[in-house]
Amino acid sequence: MRSRIGLKVLALSFAMLAFLAASTPMAAQQRYVTLQNDTNITFREVHVSSVRDESWERDLLGSKYLRPGYQLTVTMPTGRWDFQFVDSSGDACILHDVIVDRDATVAVTTEWLADNCTFERSSR
């Protein structure tokens, strides 16, 4: 239950990122997206993939974890992306079609409700 709440919180934070993004993305510019984990959930994998891809890109964390109180900054081109966050039990929170067109820092907290996260076991 705790991991589902944390994953829902994460989903809402990226939904807010998509909401803040402008409607016309800039072509091929690099953007910094920082995720600040202010939950009590440890994430063991973070994947980002173009909305057109059928599979997830490599795990951005490698052998590390995104622990509570820590952050991850990703440099990525502008565009439309899917994000996957996997907790220590293997549950995945997937955010579909997130528009990235500016630098953004997203603070993930347990106070947010995550209404738009798709849950599944880690795979793609």
The Cα 15–Cα 61 span in angstroms is 21
The pLDDT assigned to 83 comes to 86
Write the DSSP assignment of 37-87 as a string of letters: EESSPPEEEEEEEETT-SSPPPPTTTT--B-TT-EEEEEEESEEEEEEEEE
Q: What are the pLDDT tens digits along the chain (124 aa)?
A: 556 666 565 554 555 555 544 444 445 699 999 988 888 889 899 999 999 998 999 899 999 999 999 999 999 999 999 888 888 888 888 888 888 899 988 776 666 436 556 777 655 4
The Cα 17–Cα 102 span in angstroms is 9
Roughly how many angstroms between the first and final C-alpha of the chain, as a whole number? 23
Tokens matching residue 19? 């909401």
Write the DSSP assignment of 82-112 as a string of letters: EEEEEETTSEEEEEEEEEE-S-EEEEEETTS
Dihedrals phi, psi of 38, to nearest 5 degrees: -105, 25
The pLDDT assigned to 59 comes to 93
Domains within the chain, CATH numbers bracketed: 2-119 (2.60.40)
Cα–chain-centroid distance for residue 6? Answer: 12
Which helix (H) or strand (E) segment holds residue 44: the answer is strand 43-50
